[in-house]
Amino acid sequence: MTAPVIFSVNNDIGIISIDYPPVNALSQSVRQGLIDGVIKFENDDSIKAIIIRCKKRTFIAGADIKEFANAPLEPHLPDVVNRIEACTKPVIASLFGTSLGGGFEVALACHYRVALETTKVGLPEVNLGLIPGAGGTQRLPRMVGVKKAMEMITSGVHYSVNNFSSTDLFDCIFSSDENLDESTLRFVEELVTTGKITLSKVGEKTIVNDIDNWKQTLSLINKKSRGKEAPNIAARILQKSLGLNIAEGMALERREFLKLKESEQSAALRFAFGAERLASKTEFTATPLEVKNVGIIGGGTMGSGIATVFLSSGFNVKLVEQNEEALATGRERIEGNFESNVKRGRISQDQANSYLASLTTSIDYQSLSESDLVIEVVFENMEVKKTIFRQLDQVCKPECILATNTSYLDIDEIASVVTDPSRVIGMHFFSPANIMKLLEVVQAKKSSEQALLTAMAVAKKLKKISVMVGVCFGFAGNRMYTRYGREVQQMLLEGAKVAQIDDALTGWGMAMGQLAVSDMSGLDIGYHARSSVSAPKYDRGYFKPAELMFKLGRYGRKTSKGYYQYDENGKASNDPLVDQLISEKAEELGFIQKEFSDDEISQRAILALISEGLQLLKDGIVKRASDIDVIWLHGYGFPRHKGGPMFQAKQMGKNKLELQFEKLRQLESVEIWPEVDLSLVL
Ligand code: 3HC
């Protein structure tokens, strides 16, 4: 194996090259290599300047996340960056790709920074529950002012280097068609030969305090961070650093960094980072098919959302509807989606026009004959879906993958009407499809490896996170969501109030309360979905409050009344009548009402998720516990800094889980809280 850091010389310039795939992360060996390179060239009298560059896909993308689980190894990154800054010969960082976290901190410690114009830089540590740990909170404000540094550090967003053209952060930005290595070398040679090269140290500058109202800034960051501690800690460090020199500031930063590294939030966020990347990995080895032409059947909200996603990712889309009128409405919806993206500044009008140029429409299934992938997105009716798949079987080319976007229905049954069921899979998008990142790729009994891997590869192009799941009612996500909803319903019957439940769940970290979500998605939709399967006999209160709302015509937002009432501007307020009606229903069903604490509510809802997640693992619907977490993080607004329901199970540990489940079994029954194999997750 070649060394991850190698040294070479070009005339009087020393070059330190990092080659540590996939993203040149700062592992111990890379850190050591950087120190060795600096010392080697510093001691070589023939060398006038040193370039730090990277090979392959990117400049250093950060500290090596894999090392965070263990005790830090020497040389520590703060010492490495300080050694670079202290070098007696000018060091130049040559950036491309994504220079993030520790990578950007290395660049900030160099005496010069040059970059290709396509480079992105950032300090995304907060996304891992951390703060920059190698001078980022100190050197960045010295270069761009504390206001911009605050924005970058507390948001974790990656910025194009072009954002900094009015600052001294970059000494030269090369156009994307230039050869970075050659341009960097020319830039350095010029400085050396003209004698203009200096040893300007970022750490010796003073921080410009360009924030007028600190109180307001800190409170805004607190609001935006929604329970995440790292952005708040970073903000306070930036404030405290105003009067400190670089050594004092870095000592403060390091203390907080090391504390956060041991925190539960950081463990959860680092876990989420790994789980997302693992989700797309399978044991399958087939080669995915090339997909260019995609057919979408159904131009409703979901179908047009899916079409928008495909068009935005460069696919040709053929939208098929039952008649010209529905087709026109579908097209309008897609155009509306692009229009809104233009209004929000996400894309330009020219981009929108070019995407729309790849959209064609038809009412004739025959028009799908050249499609590589067809996704059926019509309403949830088995017979309708089977009729569509029979037609697809006739018109589509044999290798075309046939996917259904059903949320609940049995894909094996749908596949049974097709001559070759191996090409039938589920592609379950989440609503709104052009926003939500999750895609459940559903493996039916006869789905081929190739069809599944093609869907996963397509998902990657769509910038979605795909998770492979098996067939059952609701697949993984909605099956768990049903169980979660059931628990909320049960707590309503046992005496918890509508607003209290939602407040307890959002207070715990969920993006929305379960009852507010039901109102948004429509109580009629949930009612009809549940009607297609029989209610469990042992569960006497099964979705009774929801049924009550449905029977009263309270479908949620669409009827201005559901669990909440809505004014003409859509603003929700509590409706005391609902709590009263539920309480009467509970009495009629023989429930004894009691007071709930917020903790009890959130814990019970999470335990329901864990219980169902364990059943999914046992049934083989999901292969990895971490896949369940990815589904919940990206499909259901589970707080990322809590890792996901199965991560929570691990945090609770065997004893606590067993005790809690046993209590609930006593309260309800073993059918509702079945015995579970905790080894599947612990
Ligand atoms: N350490 C170790 N491995 C990393 C890594 C890191 N910092 N960043 C990415 N990787 C690995 C991924 O796990 C993945 O591995 P795999 O191929 O085995 O699944 C591989 O690199 C490619 O990553 P992606 O699939 O994410 O590739 P993309 O091209 O989509 O994205 C990226 C590349 C933008 C660099 C993205 O991976 C990313 O955002 N990485 C995290 C960057 C980060 O958070 N840096 C800060 C780290 S903390 C820090 O530096 C602390 C310091 O202040 C002391």
- Counting DSSP H helices and E strands in the chain, the numbers are 25, 19
Contact 272, 640 (CB under 8 A): yes
In whole angstroms, give the CA distance from residue 343 to residue 349: 9
Q: Which of 232, 253, 239 minimizes the C-alpha distance to 211? A: 239
pLDDT tens for each residue of 471-511? 999 999 999 999 999 999 999 999 999 999 999 999 999 99
Q: What is the pLDDT of residue 396?
A: 98
Q: Is 78 in the pocket of ligand 1 (CB under 6 A)?
A: no
Residue 248: what residue type? E
Q: Is 97 in the pocket of ligand 1 (CB under 6 A)?
A: no
Q: Which of 407, 400, 402 minimizes the C-alpha distance to 439? A: 407
Q: Which helix (H) or strand (E) holds 320?
A: strand 316-320
Q: What is the pLDDT of residue 69?
A: 87
DSSP assignment of 351-372? HHHHHHTTEEEES-GGGGTT-S
In whole angstroms, give the CA distance from residue 316 to residue 310: 8
Q: Is 134 in the pocket of ligand 1 (CB under 6 A)?
A: yes
Altogether, the residues listed in the chain come to a count of 682
Distance 525 CA to ligand 1 centre (A): 40
Q: Is 477 in the pocket of ligand 1 (CB under 6 A)?
A: no
pLDDT tens for each residue of 520-536? 999 998 898 888 788 89
pLDDT tens for each residue of 178-212? 999 999 999 999 999 999 999 999 999 999 899 99
Cβ partners under 8 Å of residue 3, min gap 6: 29, 33
Contact 565, 584 (CB under 8 A): no
Distance 611 CA to ligand 1 centre (A): 32
Q: Which helix (H) or strand (E) holds 42?
A: helix 28-42
In whole angstroms, give the CA distance from residue 231 to residue 125: 9
Contact 442, 471 (CB under 8 A): yes
* SS3 state of residue 469: strand
In whole angstroms, give the CA distance from residue 191 to residue 51: 13
Q: Is the pLDDT of residue 98 over 90?
A: yes
Which whole number is the average pLDDT over 452-461? Answer: 98
Q: Is the pLDDT of residue 311 over 70?
A: yes
Contact 109, 202 (CB under 8 A): yes
In whole angstroms, give the CA distance from residue 388 to residue 424: 13
Nearest ligand 1 atom to alpha carbon 257? 54
pLDDT band at 213 (very low <50, low <70, confident <90, very high): very high
Catalytic residue ranges: 105, 125
pLDDT over 90, % of the chain: 95
Cβ partners under 8 Å of residue 146, min gap 6: 207, 208, 209, 210, 211, 238, 242
Mean per-residue pLDDT of the chain: 96
Cβ partners under 8 Å of residue 407, min gap 6: 380, 428, 474, 475, 478, 529
Which whole number is the average pLDDT over 172-177? Answer: 96
Which whole number is the average pLDDT over 425-434? Answer: 94
* SS3 state of residue 120: strand
Q: What is the pLDDT of residue 1?
A: 64
Q: What is the pLDDT of residue 681?
A: 87
Q: Is 102 in the pocket of ligand 1 (CB under 6 A)?
A: yes
Structure-block tokens of residue 486: 């059931």
Give the distance from CA 66 to its chain's centroid: 19
Q: Is the pLDDT of residue 392 over 70?
A: yes
Q: What is the pLDDT of residue 496?
A: 98
* SS3 state of residue 263: coil
Q: What is the pLDDT of residue 534?
A: 86
pLDDT tens for each residue of 144-172? 999 999 999 999 999 999 999 999 999 99
Cα–Cα distances in Å, from 376 out to 407, 413, 528? 12, 15, 20
Half-sphere exposure of 555 (CA within 13 A, CB side): 10
Nearest ligand 1 atom to alpha carbon 136? 53
Q: What is the pLDDT of residue 13?
A: 98
Q: Is the pLDDT of residue 81 over 80?
A: yes
* SS3 state of residue 160: strand
pLDDT band at 515 (very low <50, low <70, confident <90, very high): very high
The residue whose CA has the least distance to atom 52 of ligand 1 is: 102
Nearest ligand 1 atom to alpha carbon 132? 53
* SS3 state of residue 9: strand
Q: Is the pLDDT of residue 550 over 70?
A: yes
Which whole number is the average pLDDT over 250-264? Answer: 97
Q: Which of 41, 31, 32 minimizes the C-alpha distance to 8? A: 41
Which whole number is the average pLDDT over 450-478? Answer: 97
Structure-block tokens of residue 2: 């070649």
Q: Which of 609, 605, 625 minimizes the C-alpha distance to 617? A: 625
- pTM equals 0.94
* Mutation to probe ligand 1, out of 23, 59, 68, 70 (largest number of atoms < 8 A from CB): 23
